[in-house]
Amino acid sequence: VSGTEGFFQRVWALTERIPPGRVSTYGGVSMLLLGHARAARTVGWALHGLSEAQAEVVPWWRVINAAGRISTSCASHSAQLQAARLADEGVQVDAAGRVDLARYGWFGDEG
């Protein structure tokens, strides 16, 4: 996950690296990209800038907040849709849209 393509491009690239059945956090992505979670907001913003075509190749639904909750506000990408996507991959999502990061959390290549 490196290059001069721009921060957004890097965010999308890293998001594609998130294995199915796992989830990551905005801060986690920022951490893997820049080395710090300060740009967590920018990460969410990058995913917010995803187009429909990109949304099909970039698993944006595998990215949630540090609290393990879905913060989505997009009409096309509602929290309900994200929860459904996660559930479709085997990720157990709470009724409130909460996910156990300790169980499904992914913050880089574990192996």
Partner DNA sequence: CTTCTGACTGGGA
Partner DNA sequence: GTCCCAGCCAGAA
Joined together, the tokens standing for residue 70 give 């879905």
The smaller minimum CB distance to DNA, of residues 19 and 58, is found at: 58
43 contacts DNA (rule: CB under 7 A): yes
Provide the minimum distance between the beta carbon of 30 and DNA in the complex, in angstroms, as a whole number: 8
Shortest reach from residue 24's CB to DNA, in Å: 9
Instruction: Assess 57 for contact with DNA (CB under 7 A).
Output: no
The nearest distance, CB 110 to DNA, in angstroms, is 19
Number of residues that bind DNA (CB under 7 A): 35
The DSSP string of 31-70 is: HHHHSSGGGHHHHHHHHHT--HHHHHHS-GGGEE-TTSB-
Candidates 98, 67, 103; CA nearest to 82 is 98
